[in-house]
Amino acid sequence: MHRFHCFPGKGKEGVMQKMEEDERRVVANKQIVLKHYVSGYMKETDMELKSSTVTLCRLPHGSEGGVLLKNLYLACDPYMRHRMSTHVSQTGTLLTSFLPGSVLKGYGVGKVIESSHPNFKEGDLVWGITGWEEFSMIPNPEGLFKIKYANVPLSYYTGILGMPGIAAYVGFFEICSPKKGETIYVSSAAGGVGQLVGQFAKMMGCYVVGSASTKEKVDLLKNKLGFDDAFNYKEEHDLAATLKRYFPQGIDIYFDNVGGHTLDEVLLHMKIHGRIAVSGMISQYNLKEPQGIHNLFSLITKRIRMEGFLEADFEHLHPQYLELAINYLRGGKLVYVEDIADGLENAPSALVGIFHGHNVGKQVVRVAYELTLLIESCLL
């Protein structure tokens, strides 16, 4: 089997010269590129669709260790907006800024087209961080995960079986330390993470209320996803009264996907020894300056634990979670709702849309169909 070294059209002349012309293959590659740093609400025009190419070149076995992916699905994750702002990249944080002119990166599902890494072979399906483009060269594929259970919709690996699913699982069970009978509030509850947190909470015998931005989503939470109750936060103009109505005795666990004023108000409604899992802050990413949180003194008076987390720290829990999730999906004990936009060219509008609540369920972009996989997935 030939091994290829894969890289964008430009550069690496030195390496190129060592190769024979007939060992190269040029492939068209549409890409979504960040045009400039974004300030305020992001717009489609902050990104652009570019036509590029990828050149595949045979390389000596194992010389590079990269893989070339054909991207199938891309996740529209709220944190991506944060990476579009100019800000100091803090040492060791995973959320450094994208560079203007470069291809966006995010979680996705792809098929290995070529590999010079011993852990991956042609045809493998993987999920992990990839580029917003048709083909991505991943120089260091250590952060990619091989897909073991393929007879589910592959897009699920951008959601329930990928980062958001693991985030919901570790965020709820590891960070929130839930107990039967406790009261849980989940914001952005119809999103990829929130919809799962609500279902996990019900499995634990908790009382769970979610909030979302439309009636359709509220109905989804109540009727399909099993939340005890749900409300449309856009129709509630006195959040204090709303929280008092749904949680007259207070909130044991707040699973925070939004931050900002909601977090600030929730602090006043927490119970003693409450826990706040800080999962995301979608309300803040498009603001020039994050809103100030004024009620942190509640952390003392109520002895609250507030903890941020990233699923990346819990790789050791992936296998047990995936087995659980697959079994629950197959048994109908977990439901998962996604909103799929078709075609890479629609990725910018899909991403912008999540900040306006346009999606119902996890927003995904389908970059390419894989027909055989599509048929398999129907067997679920």
Binding site for its own copies (CB under 8 A): 82, 90-95, 249-250, 259, 263, 268, 271-272, 278-281, 284, 289-310, 313
Helix 239-246 with 260-267: angle, nearest 10 deg: 50
CB of residue 302 to its own copies, shortest distance in Å:
6
Within 8 A by CB and 6+ apart from 82, the residues are 95, 285
Minimum Å gap between C-beta 263 and its own copies is: 8
d(CA 131, CA 122): 18
Closest approach of Cβ 272 to its own copies, in Å? 5
Smallest separation (angstroms) from its own copies to the CB of 106: 16
Return the number of the residue (24 or 302) whose C-beta is nearest its own copies.
302
Residue 139 or 181 with smaller CB distance to its own copies = 181
Spatial contact of 85 and 124, defined as CB atoms under 8 Å apart: no
Smaller CB distance to its own copies: residue 263 or 341?
A: 263
> Which C-beta is closer to its own copies: that of 85 or that of 377?
85
CB of 303 to its own copies, least distance (A): 5
User: Which CA distances in Å does 19 have to 13, 61, 130, 234, 301?
Assistant: 10, 14, 27, 60, 69
In the bound state with its own copies, the residue whose beta carbon lies nearer, of 82 and 217, is: 82
Q: How far is CA 187 from CA 117, 254, 266, 306, 352, in A?
A: 41, 8, 10, 15, 19
Nearer to its own copies, 48 or 315 (CB): 315
Q: Give residue for tokens 């925070």.
A: 256
Shortest approach of its own copies to residue 296 CB, angstroms? 6
DSSP per-residue letters across 181-196? T-EEEESSTTSTTHHH
Least gap, CB of 294 to its own copies (angstroms) = 5
Largest pairwise CA distance in the chain: 74
**Smaller CB separation from its own copies, 66 or 280:** 280
Distances (CA, A) of 235 to 37, 238, 338: 33, 9, 24
Report d(CA 346, CA 365) in Å as an integer: 8
**Amino acid at residue number 240:** A
Question: Which CB sits closer to its own copies, 71 or 298?
Answer: 298
Residue 275's contacts (CB-CB under 8 Å, 6 or more residues apart) are 175, 176, 177, 252, 253, 254, 304, 305, 306, 307
- Determine the Cα–Cα distance for residues 96 and 190; give it in Å rounded to an integer: 27
The token pair at 345 is 């060219």
Instruction: Give the shortest CB-48-to-its own copies separation in angstroms.
Output: 27
Q: How far apart are CA 194 and CA 165, in angstroms?
A: 9
For the CA atoms of 349, 353, 359, 363, what is the dihedral angle to 10 degrees?
A: 60
What is the residue whose two structure tokens read 């042609």? 122
Nearer to its own copies, 139 or 290 (CB): 290
61/179 with CB nearer its own copies = 179
- Least CB distance to its own copies at residue 178 (A): 17
Tell the smallest beta-carbon distance from residue 248 to its own copies (Å). 10
